[in-house]
Amino acid sequence: MNEAAVRSDDGGSAGLEQAGMRVARGAVDTTHGPILYLDGITVSFDGFKALSNLSLTIDDGELRCIIGPNGAGKTTMMDVITGKTRPDAGSAFFGQTIDLTQMTEAEIAHAGIGRKFQKPTVFERHSVFENLELAMKADKRVRKTVSARLGLADMDRIAETLALIQLSAVSDRMAGSLSHGQKQWLEIGMLLMQEPRLLLLDEPVAGMTDDETMRTAELCQSLAGRHSVVVVEHDMDFIASIARKVTVLHEGSVLAEGPMDVVQADPRVIEVYLGR
Ligand SMILES: Nc1ncnc2c1ncn2[C@@H]1O[C@H](COP(=O)(O)OP(=O)(O)OP(=O)(O)O)[C@@H](O)[C@H]1O
Ligand SMILES: [Mg+2]
């Protein structure tokens, strides 16, 4: 499914109704463990293993950075988590009980996993505020209020998100007139309106200015705790500025994992990635 299709189907609620709404949002059970659990995931494309026995867990509220050379499997991993690609082997659980390998992309989005693609897909001819409003109304739980005017609680949520993504001052501007970085933040804001438990950001600072990159680092840090966030990036200054635990992928599996300074000093990581 392409990005436009993902956006146009309202976060997937139509498909979900057909599927009998197997997963209620908010039902993610993390009481005894991580929010995301990947175990032994293998994905082959014509015999080539893009992911090879990949095992990884993300704690609830964690901010995890994933790095690794081109072709390491970072994006493929996000494709598996979001249901875009089915693994040939292995398990993928959201919380204790939600088996991601059995769900459609729409069901996974509804269950509370939001994904930011590299190219921003905002509604260019609507204002910043309206983009957030539309994203909120795409959420099935507020569907009944679509025709009604925004309530106070809705206005508060939008204002809160505008402040978080640092776009309060431009809320009346057409999204199409924003800078590349501002569009990226708006798209993150649109994901936030759906209250995801887990956010996946694939190369969020690509093409950003240094100032925009720094603000994105602040945003990622403020999201952690309220949400679990997985960030894939090649910009090592950015990673170093936000890193808590870092996972290095190489040839489809985990090469190293730990605090940034430990990972950076690991000779295997230097050889395959950082030393290039
Ligand atoms: N649909 C596909 N068909 C065939 N091969 C694919 C497909 N998707 C990914 N691959 C291959 O799988 C490997 C992993 O790709 P992936 O995009 O996950 O890497 P990545 O770590 O995200 O790299 P980058 O840092 O360049 O974004 C690559 O060799 C890629 O060519
Ligand atoms: Mg990639």
Q: What is the pLDDT of residues 207-248, one digit of tens each?
A: 999 999 999 999 999 999 899 999 999 999 999 999 999 999
The whole-model pTM stands at 0.88
Q: Which residue has the tokens 């905002």?
A: 122
**Ligand nearest to the Cα of 251, by number:** 1
Contact (Cβ atoms closer than 8 angstroms) between residue 176 and residue 124? yes
d(CA 36, CA 38): 7
pLDDT tier at 1, thresholds 50, 70, 90 = very low
| SS3 (DSSP) at 57 | strand
C-beta of 70 in contact with ligand 1 (< 6 A): yes
**∠ CA(271), CA(272), CA(274), 5° rounding?**
75
Cα(203) to centroid of ligand 2, in Å?
8
- Would residue 26 be called left, alpha or beta, if left means φ above 0 and alpha means ψ between -120 and 50 degrees? left
Q: Give the amino acid at 175.
A: A
d(CA 132, CA 119): 18
Question: How far is residue 114 from each of residues 63, 69, 187, 207, measured CA to CA in Å?
Answer: 14, 24, 11, 21
Q: Which CATH architecture describes the domain 3-274?
A: 3-Layer(aba) Sandwich (3.40)
Class of residue 65 by CB neighbours under 10 A (exposed 0-12, middle 13-18, buried 19+): buried
Provide the pairing of β-strand 198-202 with 113-116.
parallel
C-beta of 74 in contact with ligand 1 (< 6 A): yes
C-beta of 85 in contact with ligand 1 (< 6 A): no
Query: What is the domain partition of the chain in residue ranges?
Result: 3-274
Q: Which residues, other chains included, contact 90 with Cβ-Cβ below 8 Å and sequence gap of 6+?
A: 38, 39, 40, 41, 42, 53, 54, 55
Ligand 1 atom nearest residue 76's Cα: 18
| SS3 (DSSP) at 106 | helix
pLDDT tier at 167, thresholds 50, 70, 90 = very high
Per-residue model confidence as pLDDT tens digits over 94-152: 999 999 999 999 999 999 999 987 777 899 999 999 999 999 887 655 555 555 677 88
Q: Which of 38, 45, 274 to mutate to test the pocket of ligand 1 (most atoms within 8 A of CB)?
A: 45
- Report whether pLDDT(61) > 80: yes
What is the reported pLDDT for 18? 37
Contact (Cβ atoms closer than 8 angstroms) between residue 213 and residue 239? no
**Ligand nearest to the Cα of 70, by number:** 1
C-beta of 247 in contact with ligand 1 (< 6 A): no
d(CA 117, CA 137): 21
DSSP-derived secondary structure letter, 87: -
Contact (Cβ atoms closer than 8 angstroms) between residue 199 and residue 111? no
Cα(100) to centroid of ligand 2, in Å?
20
Q: Which residues, other chains included, contact 79 with Cβ-Cβ below 8 Å and sequence gap of 6+?
A: 43, 85
Ligand 1, atom 8, residue with closest C-alpha: 76
Residue 269: strand pairing partners: none
Hey, CA dihedral for 64, 55, 78, 136, is it positive or negative? Answer: negative
Ligand 1 atom nearest residue 69's Cα: 25
